[in-house]
Amino acid sequence: MADTIRLEPNPANKCFGCGGDNAGGMKLTFEQDNANRKIVGRFVLGERYQGGAGFAHGGIIALLLDEAMGKVCRFREVRAVTAELSVEYLKPVAVDKEIVVEGREAEMNGRNVFMSGEIRSENGDVLARGKGRFVVIKPR
């Protein structure tokens, strides 16, 4: 398996964050870092996603963390849905500067997968942290 896999938006998926078949969606692209078992995305959000003047809306910050953490399930080759999500907003996230979004697995207990995530500025300052509990769903 390659050390890094690019995760492009799925053209058949309507997900607002990562789907390719949603005209108003974000169409987020991530990288699956197999060597470090993490998901990484680099984005400049743009004014469309601002809350206060020049800063990202808190819901968008939560969405970015949810997307990155949810994709970590790829390492276990399972599908899971968000059951709980908490976000610690540490500093404003500028919409006109690059940010780095990361998701990592903390642990798995039965059908529950616990994740952590982080959003950092281009110079490494931690802007937001997230924790999530995802529940593995049965294949269709």
Going from the C-alpha of 35 to that of each of 5, 52, 76, the distances in angstroms are: 11, 38, 14
CATH of the domain at 44: 3.10.129.10
Q: How many domains does the chain have?
A: 1
Whole-structure pTM value: 0.94
Calpha distance 103→132 (Å, rounded): 10
On whether the CB atoms of residues 129 and 96 are closer than 8 A, the answer is no
For residue 117, give its domain range: 4-136
Please tell me the predicted confidence (pLDDT) of residue 1: 64
Percentage of the chain surpassing pLDDT 70? 99
How many CB atoms sit inside 10 A of residue 83's CB? 12
On whether the CB atoms of residues 64 and 27 are closer than 8 A, the answer is no
Q: Is residue 140's pLDDT more than 70?
A: no
Calpha distance 23→25 (Å, rounded): 6
DSSP state of 124: S
For 2-35, the pLDDT digits (tens) are 799 999 998 999 999 999 999 999 999 999 999 9
Q: Is residue 94's pLDDT more than 70?
A: yes
Residue, of 138 and 38, whose pLDDT is higher:
38
